[in-house]
Amino acid sequence: MQILIVEREDHFKAQDLRARFRELTIHDARSVAEALPHAGDCEVLIALAHEVTDELLAAMPKLRYIAALSTGVDHLWTCKNLRPDIRITNGRGIHGPQMAEMAFLYMIGLSRDYRRMEENQRGHIWKRWAQPVLVGKTVVIVGIGAISEAVALRCKAFDMRVVGVSNARKESPGFDLIVPRARLIEAAAMADYLIVLAPLDETTRHMINAPVFAAMKPSSFIINLARGDVIDEPAMIGALQSCAIAGAGLDVFSVEPLPQDNPLWDMPNVMMSPRVGGMSDIYADQVLPVVAHNLRAFIEGRAEDMRNIVK
C-alpha cells in the first residue's frame, strides 16, 4: 500500500510514520505540485483538510482514505472530485491546549488593553490603569466539544463562570450551565467574553449576528476561534465601530488572508492572528497517535476501530 503525505508547515513528519509502518511505501511532499507525481498509486492521503485540492483528488484514482490533520474538514465538502466512497477522519481531540491558550491570550490581552501597553512602550510612555481580572467573569462558549471542554476547565481554574451553548450537550465538564441554541441571545447577554467554537455548517453560518451583538454588554468581548463565517462579519464590524461591544479577538475571518482594506486591521479594540489558534510547536507529536491508530486499523480492515470518523 502506498501513502501520500502533503504537509508544508511541519504539522506532520513523514519519518515518524515510516518508523511505525516499515511495510508501507510513504511519499511526502511540501506542496500539491510536488505530490502529483506520486499521487496516482496512493490509497491514503494525509494532509490538512484545507490543503486538499480538486487537482490532487483527480490525480488519485485509487484513493480510499483521507486522514485530515485538522479538526475542521468543511473545505473538503467544496471539492468536486471528492468521491462518496472515500473514508475521512479528522484530528479532533488534540487541539485543546493551544486553542485554550489562544482564548486566554485574547481574554487577558483585550480586557487589560495590551495593545495600548505596547504602544506606550514604543512611545516610552509610563502610564498605569486599573487591570481587570478574570475572576468572577462569565465566559459563554458557543459550541461544545473537546476544545470547548479544554477552555472551560481552564476557565474554572481562573474562577470564572462558564456557560455553554449547544443543542448536542446538556452537561459537560467545566460548564456551570448549558443552554440550547434557541437561547443564544439570552446567553450572549450574560457574557463578559463570548467565545465562538462552533463548526461551520448551514445551521451555524452567521449565527453570531446583529441581534446577538445587540444583546451583549458594552463591556463584553467577542472571540472567534472557529470559522470566520460563523460570525456575520459586517454586523460585528458595526458593533465594534459603535462600541456596542468592547472589542474582539479574531483568529479566523470570512476571507483569508484578510483583505488589506478590511477595517478590522486598524481598529484599536481588535486583536488579530492569522489563523494560528490550532497550531502548536508539538503538533506533529499531538496528531501522530491518532493518525497511526487509524492507519493501522484501515490497512488491517478494521474500519469499526477507527477514531474521529467524519464519513
Kindly report the three-state secondary structure assignment for every residue of 248-296.
Answer: EEECCCCCCCCCCCCHHHHCCCEEECCCCCCCCCCHHHHHHHHHHHHHH
Nearest-angstrom CA–CA distance, 109 and 248: 10
When pLDDT is averaged across residues 95-105 and rounded to a whole number, the result is: 97
**Contact between 220 and 195 (Cβ < 8 Å):** no
Nearest-angstrom CA–CA distance, 189 and 195: 13
Burial class (CB in 10 A: 0-12, 13-18, 19+), 153: middle
When pLDDT is averaged across residues 214-229 and rounded to a whole number, the result is: 98
The predicted pLDDT at position 8 comes to: 86
When pLDDT is averaged across residues 46-65 and rounded to a whole number, the result is: 96
Does the pLDDT of residue 10 top 90, yes or no? no
Cell of 261: 482594506
pLDDT band for position 72 (cuts 50, 70, 90): confident
Name the architecture of domain 2-90+282-305.
3-Layer(aba) Sandwich (3.40)
When pLDDT is averaged across residues 62-87 and rounded to a whole number, the result is: 95
Q: What does the angle CA 232 – CA 211 – CA 158 come to, to the nearest 5 degrees?
A: 85
| C-alpha dist (Å) from residue 230 to 197, 253, 267 | 9, 9, 21
DSSP state of 133: -
Residue 289 CB neighbour total at 10 angstroms: 12
* Digit-coded pLDDT (tens) for 183-216: 999 999 999 999 999 999 999 999 999 999 999 9
**Sheet of 87-89, strand order:** 25-29, 2-6, 44-47, 65-68, 87-89
When pLDDT is averaged across residues 159-188 and rounded to a whole number, the result is: 97
For residue 194, report the phi and psi dihedrals to the nearest 5 degrees. Answer: -105, 110
**Contact between 120 and 126 (Cβ < 8 Å):** yes
**Sheet of 221-224, strand order:** 177-179, 161-165, 138-142, 193-196, 221-224, 247-250, 270-272
Q: Where are the domains of the chain?
A: 2-90+282-305, 96-272
* Digit-coded pLDDT (tens) for 233-264: 999 999 999 999 999 999 999 999 999 999 99
pLDDT band for position 11 (cuts 50, 70, 90): confident
The predicted pLDDT at position 91 comes to: 95
Burial class (CB in 10 A: 0-12, 13-18, 19+), 257: exposed
Cell of 109: 490581552
Instruction: Give the residue among 79, 97, 204 at the shortest CA–CA distance from 143.
Output: 204
CATH code of the region 96-272: 3.40.50.720
